Amino acid sequence: MPFNCSRFVLYDVVGKIGEGTYGEVYQAYTREATPRLLAIKTFKPGKEGEGVSPTAIREIMLLREMHHPNVVHLDATLICRQDPSLSLVFEYAEHDLYEMVRSHRERTAKSVPPGQGFGAYTLKSLMWQLLAGTAAMHAAHLMHRDLKPSNVLVMGEGSQQGQVKIADFGLARIFTSPLRPLSDNGVVVTIWYRAPELLLGAKHYTTAVDMWALGCIFGELLTLRPLFHGEERKTPATAFQIDQMDKIMRVMGAPSARTWPELEALPHWSNNADGVRSWQPHSKPPGLHQHLSNTARGGGTDKTAALDLLTALLEYNPRNRITAAQALNHPYFKQEPLPGNNAFVQNGQQVAWFPVRQKVPPKAPMDPQGTVTQPPRAPQGPPLPSVPTTGPNRLTPTVSQQQLDAAPNRRQPSSTVGTKRPASSQPQPQRRLPDGDDKGLLQEQILLAQL
């Protein structure tokens, strides 16, 4: 992480909370009179001569235009001229669906008899908010293309407790007027959440690929296991992922040109890659309803409406797959318990608890002058304030309100987590560059204007 960059004098870094192929994510506080808790996403340096990561530039461009309560808020952009490198500062979310599912799975495994998973209210609220954010993206002509549990954040204690935030727009794409066919972008969507049309080599695809991914996430929330857990072929990049397709067909049966006319034109199907056209199951596929009835651990006792929504999300034919706006009107969300803005608190009562993220202190970072400093300690103080227990907590699942929230150009107020900590005994740096950096600041402003 470029701690020696002058931009980082504005933050106290608590520790690392995640990493991936793109880089690392750190938890940090702003050095303000009322510090705010944020997440700093750093990107690994590009190859020599490549400059700033194109993934980071794509995220900046898209998140600057995407403002919705269920889409993560981009708080700031940090440019380090020495590398050059770019870091993105986001509102901090304490949880993500991947860790929440894992926590439930571990708890149920230790129960005798096996315990339950997500409660009906929590599961429904998570899905409602996830669909609301997706509907807003699609209304703004934006495909995410990498929806999966680890990219769905959930806010911890504070004014936004229990609120879903869709994150990681590194593979996202505006689809109104693409400069080239979408298939030219290479592989998109993590394999367990990849739609059949992508697996079968579709050259063009739609927002329906996001809806299939949401169906897989919904199934995972219900069962605490990936719904279609295939093994990925790493090479070549264009290889037909037969094992993933096999996992889908073992549950749903083989797709049919009778219900999906475009199937015959898909490259891997028309070429009968790995014998996919002649696939025969070892036993009769149970179908989604039967499969989920046997494996679901959460969501309440009556899962009829939930399974009906899941079936609509996991429709083979992308033309027939339910849209996010349609899904928000599904009967599942009109039955008690109604979904809420806070997935953890129902009618003023806490109904769900999850462990907080583990933080790894950064290794002796360097300050802007190049001297080694000690990692900042996590601020000590009173616990974060809980969400008020009075007042309405529930959402009214109506299309009119959702359409208002989903308006592509409607700017939402910035609502980062503003948790307090004791005032530092050290003087707080002013929000300015060291002397002599005015020219560099101008260059940064020009660069950002071009992104």
Binding site listing for ATP: 41
Backbone angles phi, psi at 192, to 5 degrees: -65, -20
- Exposed (0-12), middle (13-18) or buried (19+): which is 75, by Cβ within 10 Å? middle
**Secondary structure of residue 145 in the 3-state scheme:** coil
Neighbouring C-beta atoms of residue 47, cutoff 10 Å: 6
CA atoms of 245 and 200, how far apart (whole Å): 8
Q: Which helix (H) or strand (E) holds 312?
A: helix 304-313
Does residue 326 contact residue 308 with C-beta atoms inside 8 Å?
no
Q: Quick check: bond before 114 cis, omega within 30?
A: no
**Secondary structure of residue 78 in the 3-state scheme:** strand
What is the C-alpha R_g of the chain?
Answer: 23
Backbone angles phi, psi at 3, to 5 degrees: -65, -20
**Secondary structure of residue 436 in the 3-state scheme:** coil
CA atoms of 255 and 269, how far apart (whole Å): 10
CA atoms of 190 and 65, how far apart (whole Å): 25
Query: Binding site: which residues?
Result: 41
Distance between first and last Cα of the chain? 22
DSSP 259-305: T-GGGGGSHHHHTTGGGGGG---SS---HHHHHHHHH---S-S--HH
Catalytic annotation, residues: 146
